[in-house]
Homo-oligomer: A and B are copies of this chain.
């Protein structure tokens, strides 16, 4: 990428994901952080990159000519459904929208506005949706006869932790989703098991109770909570606030995607494709995927394309700093 302008990235929203994007940019040589946009008072926001402007989101449109790709680092529940369509009118954008059931609607909204503004919007980027979706699509295409399995964890679930925190008498909580080893082994062994929700994952909860709270009652309420816990085997541990801070600050995660399929005129041959992620930091890894797709967004835009895209629409080479020649010589 010598003698070429770096791709100028804007970060929209500076939480764990925004901080991760900032760090991921430092691992590239063809991108630079142009500005961080925040809804907070910029003077109250401390970033890791000296000299980079911290700007109120209300100033965003003044940066149209100084940002190549805007990476939206808000949440899927309330931020992204409005922000991505609004921003894609004026910027190329990337988001990590991960509410699977609402992806078609979000895609349509982003596509409409992207075409109005002639920009590129790549949605649902991360590891699931994201790298896990790629694994599902490639392996379904290659093995059309077969079964898919996705396991998550071991990892912290933010949504489930929040649900436990809403129980009366709970001061703080962390919930881990854990794949069942025997289920993983059965899939890996080619047995193509039918697995219930309970057979795939267990849940482990660490709770700091308010003083004097009824721990038995809290445990019962967790274990019977509809949708969140009632279909799972759940273990509840009561710990101190200090233990929670000391032992449960990490944001590691991961998971497994399997395709177990057959080929041959009589389905006589069996094959297993497994993708497996072990992540020390869920937000930092997600951010690294976002930054790779920012490179692709710039390239699509430079080719004159516009509209909504997902990871399924983008050639793998578009994510790379290296040229096609370099990729064919060294990574193919």
> Does A138 have its Cβ within 8 Å of any Cβ on chain B?
yes
Contact B273 A277 (CB under 8 A): yes
User: Considering the complex, which residues of chain A in the window 250-292 have a beta carbon less than 8 Å from any beta carbon of chain B?
Assistant: 263-265, 269-281, 284-285, 287-289, 292
Identify A292's interface contact among B124, B141, B274, B280, CB under 8 A.
Answer: B141
Chain B proximity mask over A122-142: 1 for CB below 8 Å, otherwise 0: 001000010101111110111
Report Cα–Cα, A136/B332, bound state, in Å. Answer: 8
This chain: copies in complex: 2
List of B residues within 8 angstroms of A52 by Cβ: none
| Residue ranges of A at the interface with B (Cβ–Cβ < 8 Å) | 20, 22-24, 26-28, 48, 100, 103-104, 107, 124, 129, 131, 133-138, 140-145, 188, 190, 263-265, 269-281, 284-285, 287-289, 292, 295, 310-317, 319-321, 324-325, 327-329, 331-332
Q: Sample 9 A-B pairs with CB under 8 A, ordered by A number.
A: A107-B328, A137-B320, A138-B319, A141-B316, A269-B281, A272-B276, A272-B278, A312-B315, A314-B315
Contact B327 A316 (CB under 8 A): no
Contact B288 A331 (CB under 8 A): no
Contact A312 B332 (CB under 8 A): yes
A131 to chain B, nearest CB (A): 7
Contact A317 B313 (CB under 8 A): yes
List of B residues within 8 angstroms of A288 by Cβ: 142-143, 263
Contact A325 B104 (CB under 8 A): yes
Contact A317 B312 (CB under 8 A): yes
Closest B residue to A124 by beta carbon equals B332
Report Cα–Cα, A134/B273, bound state, in Å. Answer: 13
A305 to chain B, nearest CB (A): 12
Contact B134 A138 (CB under 8 A): yes
Contact B319 A313 (CB under 8 A): no
Contact B319 A141 (CB under 8 A): yes
Contact A138 B142 (CB under 8 A): no
